[in-house]
Amino acid sequence: MILNGTLTGAAFSAFNSASIALVDKAATAISGGTIIDSGYLSASAQAKGISTQFADIKSLILAYSGLLNHQDTLTLACSSPGGSTTVFCNMQWLEVW
């Protein structure tokens, strides 16, 4: 999980019509940013809970400001040590208006 990394080949689109969130499924690489969680799963593992290096991920203040034209980017980046693999993930967030 990387906060404010630079994505290569990103194509952001609206998550849905009721959200200010944008999502990207096209990026092929990431550089920079702050790693807020990392780990690995064995081939037989079913899930990995979040175990951030920060005491509370909420302290990172993921924010969008229309006045300052600033939006934080949170990226879930996955790779396989050999060959290709399929990854399924789930993310939840709260939009406070």
Answer whether residue 92 is part of any domain. Answer: yes
Per-residue pLDDT of the chain (97 residues; tens, 9 = 90+): 888 899 999 999 999 998 888 899 899 999 999 888 777 776 676 666 655 555 556 566 555 656 666 778 888 888 777 777 777 777 777 777 6
Domain enclosing residue 62, as ranges = 1-39+52-97
Residue 30 main-chain phi, psi, to 5 deg: -140, 145
Answer whether residue 58 is part of any domain. Answer: yes
pLDDT of residue 27: 93
pLDDT of residue 73: 85
pLDDT of residue 32: 96
Answer whether residue 45 is part of any domain. Answer: no
Question: What is the total count of domains within the chain?
Answer: 1
Contact 13, 22 (CB under 8 A): yes
pLDDT of residue 49: 60
Answer whether residue 72 is part of any domain. Answer: yes
